[in-house]
Amino acid sequence: QVQLVESGGGLVQAGDSLRLSCAGSGRSFSDYAMGWFRQAPRKDREFVAVIDWSAYNTYYLDSVKGRFTISRDNAGNTVSLQMNSLKPEDTAVYYCAKDLIPFRTPSDDYRETDFGSWGQGTQVTVSS
C-alpha cells in the first residue's frame, strides 16, 4: 500500500517562500504522475500542480503559475512544491497525491479523480 507523507507547511507572511515535500513509499514511484492539491476553509479541494511520470511535463493552476514550481526526485521517492511570493489566498491544507494509472499520457486536464493515493495534508498559512 502506498503511503504519502507531506512536510514543510507553516505560517509565513505574504511574499515569503515555503517548500513542501512529499515522501512516498512503495514500488514504481517513478511510473506515476504526482500532484499537489489544496483545500482552503469552506472551499472544495482544488488542483494546484502536477508533474508527469517522466518529469518532463508540468501543469499548474493559473493563479500559481510563475510562483510555484513542482519537481520530483524519483531516486528518493519524493515530490516537492516550491512556493514563492506567497499570498494570503494561498492559505490552505496542501495534499500530495499519486496518479491511479502508470505512464498516463500527460495533459493539462488532471482531475482529483485521477489520483488514488493521498497524503494527510500539511497546513500552509499566509498572513497579510
Q: Is residue 25 predicted with pLDDT exceeding 90?
A: no
pLDDT average, residue stretch 65-75: 96
Q: pLDDT exceeding 70 applies to what percent of the chain?
A: 99
| CA separation for the pair 88, 64 (Å, rounded) | 12
d(C-alpha 121, C-alpha 92), whole Å: 10
Q: Give 73's pLDDT tier (boundaries 50, 70, 90).
A: very high
Give the span between the Cα atoms of 79 and 97, in whole angstroms.
Answer: 10
- Model pLDDT, residue 31: 93
Give the strand order in the sheet containing 4-7: 4-7, 18-24, 78-83, 68-73
Residue 23 Cα to chain centre, angstroms: 11
Residue 56 has pLDDT above 80, yes or no: yes
Q: What is the mean pLDDT of the chain?
A: 95
pLDDT value at position 27? 78
Inform me whether the pLDDT recorded for 26 exceeds 90: no
Asked if the model's pLDDT at residue 2 lies above 90, the reply is no
Identify the pLDDT of residue 41: 93
